[in-house]
Amino acid sequence: MLKFIFNRILIIVPMALLVVTVTWVLIRVAPGNFYSTERNLPPAIEENIKKKYGLDQPWYVQYGTMMGNILRLDFGDSLKYQGQSVNEIIARHFPYSATLGLLAYLLALAIGLFAGIVAALKQNSAFDYGTMAAAMLGLSVPNFVLGPILVLFFSLYLYWLPPARWGGPLYLIMPVVTLAAIYAAYIARLTRAGMLEVMRSDYIRTARAKGLNEKTVLLKHGLRGGIVPVVSFTGPALASLLAGTVVVEKVFAIPGLGNIFIQSVLNRDEPLILGIVAFLSILIMIANLAVDISYGFLDPRIRYE
């Protein structure tokens, strides 16, 4: 296990650098630049801008400088947010996305696991059909539709909740529910499918034959194997949630990292784009590593030699 973890950690750095390299190439081959305007700048001013940011150097010199800075975890200053470093911007906006994402996933996990387990234990019952129908509805309604509906009903009609912005706990309810809906639906369906498969397996029949009560069979033997698909889904889903969901942040005016990333792309803010991409790629790989490690504890059939 330790050897497996060590090898995976060694892979994270080169993979992150590869992702950054591909992103850097895509930025450079795309038309336009961060100082482009509707009117062309005078050649002298354009040359001064290129010299200031090192854009007058050969591409391999620019690439080497960029990679050297990233290896020192220094992404430089933003091109659009003058006087602000990329590290400061990420540190300032990531907590909003992390808070929203963690709360949304905990809510989705609680609802999805409960609904999926009960639906599997009561297969073909009214609860099973109703739960899966609700899950399909959750998968079908996108965030940009669900969010405004919640605002319209709970804020503009009932006046129960604030419509947007970041504040106390009441401000979090609608964004968290909006973000959690689709993930709860996925988890419910994955849990139901996993539990149905596990509860029909031979080792579950053996546990029942030994005289164990149904609660022990479910919690000690069935649940560990049944939630393996949910754990597989957790890695990329949690990383995506922590990184921020642009639609939800836009609808509820939350200053999260996803919102900033879209603005950086529109502004062609190369240092900020590369910094966020590197940060998110490492976050996703760490989340996937945590998922792989958890497999060995949840399923005794999985071992890392």
The answer to whether the CB of 53 falls within 8 A of the CB of 79 is: yes
DSSP string, 223-242: HHHHTHHHHHHHHHHHHHHH
Task: Give me the pLDDT at residue 264, please.
Answer: 84
- Decide if pLDDT at 1 tops 80: no
Instruction: Give the CATH number of the domain where residue 100 resides.
Output: 1.10.3720.10
> Do residues 127 and 117 lie in contact, with contact meaning Cβ atoms separated by under 8 Å?
no
- Cα–Cα distances in Å, from 60 out to 13, 56, 57, 98, 133? 21, 11, 8, 36, 55
CA–CA distance, 24 with 30 (Å, rounded to integer): 10
Confidence label for 287 from pLDDT (cuts 50, 70 and 90): confident
Please report whether residue 84 resides in a domain: no
- Rounded to 5 degrees, φ, ψ at 268 are 55, 40
9 in a domain, yes or no?
no
Which of 87-101, 179-193, 230-244 has the lowest average pLDDT?
230-244
Q: What is the pLDDT of residue 24?
A: 86
Given a cut of 80, is residue 225 above it in pLDDT?
no
pLDDT digits (tens, 9 = 90+) for 60-80: 888 888 888 888 888 888 888
Most confident of 107-111, 141-145, 254-258: 107-111
The answer as to whether 239 is a domain residue is yes
Selection from 67, 55, 61, 68 nearest residue 22 by Cα: 67
- 278 assigned to some structural domain: no
pTM of the full structure? 0.79
- How confident is residue 41, by pLDDT bands cut at 50, 70 and 90? low
Tally of domains within the chain: 1
Give CA–CA dist 230/186, Å, rounded: 9
**Residue 125: Cβ within 10 Å count:** 12
Secondary structure (DSSP) of 126-169: HHHHHHHHHHHHHHHS-HHHHHHHHIIIIIIIS--S--SSS-SH
Domain membership flag for residue 126: yes
- Look at residue 267 in the predicted model and tell me its pLDDT: 80
Highest mean pLDDT among 47-61, 227-241, 252-266: 252-266
Assign 107 a pLDDT band (cuts: 50, 70, 90).
very high
pLDDT of 102: 87
Report yes or no on 141 lying in a domain. yes
Based on its alpha-carbon atoms, the radius of gyration of the chain, rounded to whole angstroms, reads: 24
pLDDT class of 137 with cuts at 50, 70, 90: confident
Give the CA angle between residues 283, 284, 290 to the nearest 5°. 90
Give CA–CA dist 55/83, Å, rounded: 19
What is the pLDDT at residue 38?
52
Residue closest to 76 by CA, chosen among 270, 293, 268, 301: 270
Whether pLDDT at 190 is above 70: yes
Instruction: State mean pLDDT over 102-123.
Output: 88
Asked whether the predicted pLDDT for residue 244 surpasses 70, the reply is no
What is the share, in percent, of the chain residues with pLDDT greater than 90?
Answer: 4
Residue predicted with more confidence, 53 or 182: 182
pLDDT value at 271 more than 70: yes
Q: Answer whether residue 118 is part of any domain.
A: yes
Residue numbers of the domain that contains 235: 93-267
| Average confidence (pLDDT) over 239-253 | 76
pLDDT score, position 192: 87
Average pLDDT over residues 96-123: 88
Average pLDDT, the chain: 81
| Residue 298 domain flag | no
